[in-house]
Structure 1
Amino acid sequence: MDIMKELYSVITDRKQHPVEGSYTNYLFDKGTDKISKKLGEEAVEVVIAASQRDKKEIVGEIADLQYHLLVLMVDQGITLDDVETELRSRRG
């Protein structure tokens, strides 16, 4: 299974079946504003890592960014297919 699909599935499951102590559930409990703030923080961390040209750090920050983006997507009811469809429509 594609890791993005797998992670999206886990995040969706956490929303539907909360697990005590889960960071994902903490984000859902705090709401969209908190999720969006974390997403913004992670985006800035990607930019900082890129400016330092540290590939390992950049990869780690991109992974954090993608995770938080998936949390926002689940929070907003946006699927990976929704995004794929949009990207394909832009290819002309």
Structure 2
Amino acid sequence: MYHNATVWHDPERFDPTRHLSENLTTERRHGSLAFSAGRRVCIAQNFAVMELVLSLAVLAQRLTLDSATREPIRRALSFTGGPDGAVPMRVTRRDRP
């Protein structure tokens, strides 16, 4: 799906910006499914999501995230309500007990 030349320009090149909302046409929105869907859904989808959650939990135990700016974070007017733009962060290692 991600290497389909009829959907993606230069499909063999790694380009994470192709998934930004401003770069996704209607056709491309349906060409970007992390675990596929329907009869061909990835059988390891639940495991992958669990692995992601556990990895984030371990990182949260070991790292501290602080805002790298004094500017307030604006929320996007969208269904998910995420931030409107980048959120610069400062990452520091937590002290071990």
Q: Name the TM-score, length of structure 1 as normaliser.
A: 0.31
Name the one with the larger strand percent.
2
Answer with 1 or 2: which has the greater Rg: 2
Q: Name the TM-score, length of structure 2 as normaliser.
A: 0.30
Name the one with the larger helix percent.
1
